[in-house]
């Protein structure tokens, strides 16, 4: 006779307040930069070359925590856009995308189940490193 094992308890998904508490507990000073329903928290991360404002938010569905850095309207050429897309293969799970307002963004989604400070730190650090490493693509002199 086979006995089913008990399912492990799953922590509640993070909400905006929980995300802010976790970031504060990690030593960051999150700044509120958005309003409901797009409540965005921003922290600053310093790399060798950049001060990277990393935005974090719980998705509208609550299924994901998004971490991202908006690089701005960098005016990518066709070749630069292709290079950014090709770099996604090297930087994944961090990827580039363009917003509807032509802002270049780099970031990743984290499954909002049992999110730990270690997972959040990985995402934040990975984005900062990838901003630095991909700068030759998007940060070209005009």
Query: Kindly report the CA angle at 113 between 123 and 5, in degrees rounded to 5?
Result: 135
On the 0-12 / 13-18 / 19+ scale of CB atoms within 10 A, 129 is middle
Domains along the sequence of the chain with CATH:
16-135 (3.30.1460.10)
What's the pLDDT tens digit per position in 16-71? 999 999 999 999 999 999 765 678 999 999 998 999 999 999 998 999 999 999 99
pTM summary value = 0.86
- Of 117, 94, 96, the C-alpha closest to 105 is 96
The helix/strand/coil state of 116 is coil
pLDDT at 9 > cutoff 90: no
pLDDT at 112 > cutoff 60: yes
Q: Enter the tokens of residue 135.
A: 């700068």
Q: Enter the tokens of residue 58.
A: 């719980």
What's the pLDDT tens digit per position in 49-61? 999 999 999 998 9
Kindly report the average pLDDT of the chain as a whole number: 89
What's the sign of the alpha-carbon dihedral 128, 71, 30, 23? Answer: negative
Distance CA 103, CA 137 (A): 15
Percent of the chain with pLDDT over 90: 70
């Amino acid at each position: 006779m086979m006995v089913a094992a008990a399912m492990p308890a799953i922590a509640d998904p993070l909400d905006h307040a929980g995300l802010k508490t976790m970031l504060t507990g990690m030593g960051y000073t999150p700044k509120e930069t958005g309003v409901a329903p797009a409540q965005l928290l921003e922290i600053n991360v310093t790399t060798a070359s950049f001060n990277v404002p990393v935005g974090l938010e719980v998705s509208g569905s609550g299924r994901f925590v998004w971490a991202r850095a908006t690089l701005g309207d960098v005016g990518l050429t066709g070749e630069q856009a292709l290079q950014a897309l090709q770099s996604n293969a090297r930087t994944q799970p961090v990827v580039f995308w363009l917003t509807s307002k032509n802002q270049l963004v780099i970031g990743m989604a984290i499954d909002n189940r049992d999110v730990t400070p270690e997972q959040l730190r990985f995402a934040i650090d990975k984005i900062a490193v990838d901003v630095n490493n991909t700068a030759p693509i998007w940060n070209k002199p005009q």
